[in-house]
Chains A and B, each alone.
Chain A
Amino acid sequence: MTKTILCLCRDVSEEDVRRAVAEGYDDLETLKRFTGACTGPCQGKTCVEAIRRLVAELTGRDLADVLAPPRRPPAAPVRLGTLAAVGDASAVDDASVGDDASTVDDTSLGEDAPAGEGGP
């Protein structure tokens, strides 16, 4: 028997997604929370598009109506030791945190993110 893994971080398979959607978790926000897909170290960068397509196919909705969850910062995982030293210029050695960053933008991933949702 073959098994297709969609979310490599969390070992979420195509079958897991099919079963979750059949149960009723057919919104990517809740599908993510129920299956754990998109919640690993890559935060969905690898799998979210594949999952969107599968959900669109399973529910018969337009791909444009199947929204990816808004992205939450940081853009890439950051060591707490690095974060704790932000603002202490001599100690910042992680390229993912700019010296001049004052706020981490929590804008949504796609143009089609739900209106009015600041982003979880």
Chain B
Amino acid sequence: MRPRVIPGTTTGELAAAYDAVIIGGGLQGLALAYELAKRRFGRIVVLEAAYPGSGGSGRNGEMIRSAFATDEWIGLFDDSLRRWQTLSAELDFNVLFTKAGYLLLASTEEALAAARRNLALQRRRGLHVDLLDHDEVRRLCPEMAPEMIAGGIVQHDAGFAHHDATVWAYAQAAARLGVEIHPYTRVTAIGVAGGAVTSVTTDRGVIATPVVVDAAGGQARDIALLADVDVPVEVFRLEAMVTEPLEPFLRPAVSSPAIMGYCHQTTRGEFVGGTEPDVPVPSTSIRSTLDGARDMAQKFLRLFPRLAGVRMMRHWSGLVTQTADIAPVLGRAPELEGFYLDCGWVYGFVGAPAAAALMAEVAGGTVAPGIVDEYPGPREPLGLQLRTERVNGVLGTDLGTEEIAGMLGRLGIETVADGDMDVIGRSLDDKSWAVQFVMDNGPVRYYLYDRTAKKARFLFTNRKRLEELTLSKMHPISVQARDGLNLICYLTLPYWTDTDDDGRPAEPLPMALWVHGGPWARDSWGYDPFHQWLANRGYAVLSVNYRGSTGFGKRFTNAGNLEWASKMHSDLIDAVRWAVEHKIADKNKVAISGGSYGGYATLVGLTFTPDVFACGVDLVGPSNLQTLLETIPPYWAPMLTVFTSRVGDHRTEEGRQFLAARSPLTYVDRIKKPLLIGQGANDPRVKQSEADQIVKAMQEKNIPVTYVLYPDEGHGFARPENNLSFCAVADLFLAEHLGGRSEPIGTDFKGSSITVPTGAEQIPTLKDALGG
């Protein structure tokens, strides 16, 4: 007799015919069998090549949540989460669902900002989620390394379950409803006739069937190919591990994008988790690797340093078949009657209960498939946008390229604006697209595009008040640096000096060089409030994507390594020289300004190249790179090597000398042009001391400086009142030194917390405005 392997299997022979054959005895296949049987679908068989749960179902991280970032994902996974709450009772088998909570850890401010955005959607969808700050995460996970914690989202009614128990629970529940489960039964062929499936051949004989479901996990693509159905998935290997049991130290399930890892402590005390390499490993092998083991050890120690002395007992691999958008493939294969797909899972463990119920409706044809339509089978990337100077076209596979070119005006469709286009939504039948055009001289414009008529209908803009204003165009230009490197820059001119839109004023203008922060970021084409404000005052405005900026390839970013105040700065000087040579800028009236790195660049401009600029406006810029690196916020600790390899290493004597040589503070005595500094007292990244120390050094040398400090601001000015008040000061400062237009301060300080500890007298009317 054949072994039973698990309770609920069939030890007898296969029948000659079934109403449905499910290929794959993992969680998806067994849950679907159960849901179909519940709906009295007929005679159902599940074929499993090894033992049930031998694939991804028994190798996953067994974590459960529905707090995702889009409506479609929340729709599917929250349906599942609701089923998880009562699954043990429904299946009459304890799946050990542990509602210990699920923490989505944010390790950077950027991740926390994204979490905050996601939270709004998750709350709207009724999810039981909260945003936690640093201290709250520490209370929830006291053993977690503080430097990994910026905050996070916790989903209270989520957690984890036992993955094997869930497989057995569904198998037994399905068997009670008459489903046959055949382990160690391998599918070798799928019969097709007249565009429909007819049979499945196994190593134990041929069976006739009108319905085949491919739920074969890591083998799903190979199984579909037996029916000549090409599923757009790639197979990747993931690795996971378990330690010896420990006393309870971690309650919730934790997912950490910063280490690409996920983990939890089981009810038995074992710490279980997996990490993913930065670049996924395409592989159909489930051999575990030493690289994988080391990756997990290193990353989990960063998260939980106390695990250093804890031993890994076991380590294994599993396969995921992954689509381009990592959402599953659910529904009938369009090219083959009777052939259904339930594969492409990355979050298959949490998703199985809902997917099974939905797929049972689809295969049974009883109700409209609803959410399943969000996960169609033929799902390839439609196109790819490149953004260099502008978003320049779309490289598509087959669909969309010509239409999009048409929308860009190249095929003569004139209804559409001269902006950078994005398709932001598509109807289910794909006949209508919602399209946005980012404009440079106005708000974002939204259109409804009818793909049949090839006509776009204007809907609305995102900022109505901007529609009424005459704003300036932004000109992308390309400047060659002295060593030949190509720099993509953006130039904005006062609209009345550029009536022919050629990007050249009638005569050279005073110019503001506006330097982006980061520096690992970039400027892009589009509406820019700083460009518009400064152009309105009569200045040419130039922004430079100097080397080190991102978005132009790794080589360009890495070309900025250890080039602070060196080549990164000479790129700015080369762009200014270009503007002077092309009679755009008046050589004697060029200001340098910017925030964060842009503030540093401003200080570098006035110390390293003291004759180039007429004045400078520094917003939250570091003045001393050594103290900057010594005081980075704890949540930047994971990025420390990025700083030390790109800026300089403050941990070595040689590095400290290097950093001193690249710090404006070292050369304060060279400053001979007016300087305005703006700073937030609570800035966690560039501390107030960065501004304080250069102001103090300048005062000691009797060099004038105006220092504007906000007690309630951080890295930049968040409160509109504060932002407006600083712009009012900068407006007057620039007018004084570049000669442009300005507005009196008037009521611009109202509601702001502005203080001017030093140099108010340097700026006309400022002292009076503060006194009043």
Contacts and interface: CB of A to CB of B under 8 A. Distances in A.
Contacts of B51: 27, 29-30
Contacts of A77: 244, 311-313
Interface string A61-104: 10000000000111001111101101100000000000001111
A59 B4 CA distance: 10
A61 B140 CA distance: 51
Given A29-B54, A79-B310, A119 B286 contact: yes
A24 B297 contact: no
B96 interface: no
A24 B9 contact: yes
Given A26-B5, A40-B313, A80-B310, A34 B290 contact: no
21 contacts: A24-B6, A25-B6, A25-B7, A27-B183, A29-B54, A30-B53, A34-B164, A34-B168, A41-B313, A43-B314, A74-B312, A81-B309, A84-B298, A103-B287, A103-B289, A104-B289, A104-B293, A104-B315, A106-B316, A119-B287, A120-B59
Interface stretch (B300-308, B546-554, B584-592): B300-308
A27 B287 contact: no
Contacts of B301: 80-81, 84
B7 A23 contact: yes
A79 B309 contact: yes
A81 B6 contact: no
B684 to A, nearest CB: 29
B288 A26 contact: no
B221 to A, nearest CB: 17
Given A73-B288, A120-B58, A80 B315 contact: no
Nearest to A33: B164
Nearest to B289: A103
B8 interface: yes
Given A30-B51, A83-B293, A120 B312 contact: no
Given A30-B168, A43-B313, A106-B286, 4 more contacts: A26-B3, A39-B314, A72-B314, A72-B315
A74 B3 contact: no
B731 to A, nearest CB: 54
A73 B315 CA distance: 6
Interface in B271-307: 285-291, 293-294, 296-298, 300-301, 307
A102 B287 CA distance: 12
A30 B57 CA distance: 13
A111 interface: no
B171 to A, nearest CB: 10
A41 B50 contact: no
Contacts of A104: 288-290, 293, 315
Given A79-B309, A84-B297, A87-B294, A30 B286 contact: no
Interface in B330-358: none
Interface of B: 3-9, 50-54, 58-59, 164, 168, 183, 243-244, 268, 285-291, 293-294, 296-298, 300-301, 307-317
Contacts of B164: 30, 33-34
A112 interface: no
A104 B412 CA distance: 61
Contacts of B316: 72, 106, 120
B290 A30 contact: no
A110 interface: no
A19 B708 CA distance: 77
A120 B315 contact: no
B166 to A, nearest CB: 12
Given A30-B51, A74-B293, A59 B3 contact: yes
A83 B287 contact: no
B310 A86 contact: no
A25 B301 CA distance: 36
Given A102-B290, A117-B50, A120-B54, A80 B313 contact: no
A78 B311 contact: yes
Q: Please classify the interface of chain A as helix (H, G, I), strand (E, B), loop, or mixed, using the class held by over half of its residues.
A: loop
Contacts of B244: 40-41, 77
B63 to A, nearest CB: 18
Interface string A39-62: 111010000000000000001010
A83 B286 contact: no
User: Which among A26, A78, A84, A102 has the greatest number of chain B C-beta atoms within 10 A?
Assistant: A84
A119 B286 CA distance: 7
A86 B290 CA distance: 9
A26 B183 CA distance: 12
Nearest to A86: B294
A26 B317 CA distance: 24
Interface in A1-48: 23-27, 29-30, 33-34, 36, 39-41, 43
Given A24-B6, A29-B54, A106 B287 contact: yes
A80 B287 contact: no
Contacts of B50: 29, 114, 117
Contacts of B298: 84
A27 B288 contact: no
A29 to B, nearest CB: 5
User: Which among B53, B268, B309, B316 has the greatest number of chain A C-beta atoms within 10 A?
Assistant: B316
A59 to B, nearest CB: 7
B53 to A, nearest CB: 8
Given A30-B51, A33-B58, A41-B244, A83 B285 contact: no
Contacts of A119: 286-287
A27 to B, nearest CB: 4
A89 B313 CA distance: 22
User: Which among A25, A29, A34 has the greatest number of chain B C-beta atoms within 10 A?
Assistant: A29
A104 B9 CA distance: 34
User: Which among B244, B268, B293, B300 has the greatest number of chain A C-beta atoms within 10 A?
Assistant: B293
A87 B317 CA distance: 21
Contacts of B286: 106, 118-120
B288 A24 contact: no
Contacts of B315: 72-74, 104
Nearest to A40: B313
A104 B307 CA distance: 21
Contacts of A80: 243, 297, 300-301, 307-312
10 smallest CB-CB distances across A and B, nearest first, come from: A24-B7, A81-B308, A77-B311, A83-B297, A84-B297, A24-B4, A118-B286, A27-B5, A80-B297, A84-B298
A101 B290 CA distance: 8
A29 B294 CA distance: 26
Contacts of A117: 50
A49 to B, nearest CB: 18
Nearest to B299: A84
Contacts of B300: 80
A84 B314 CA distance: 15
A74 B312 CA distance: 8
A72 B7 contact: no
B8 A73 contact: no
Nearest to B4: A24
Nearest to A32: B164
Contacts of B290: 86, 101-104
A30 B312 contact: no
Contacts of B314: 39, 43, 72-73
A23 B6 CA distance: 8
Given A33-B58, A114-B50, A26 B4 contact: yes
Contact of B294 (A25, A43, A84, A105): A84
Nearest to B270: A39
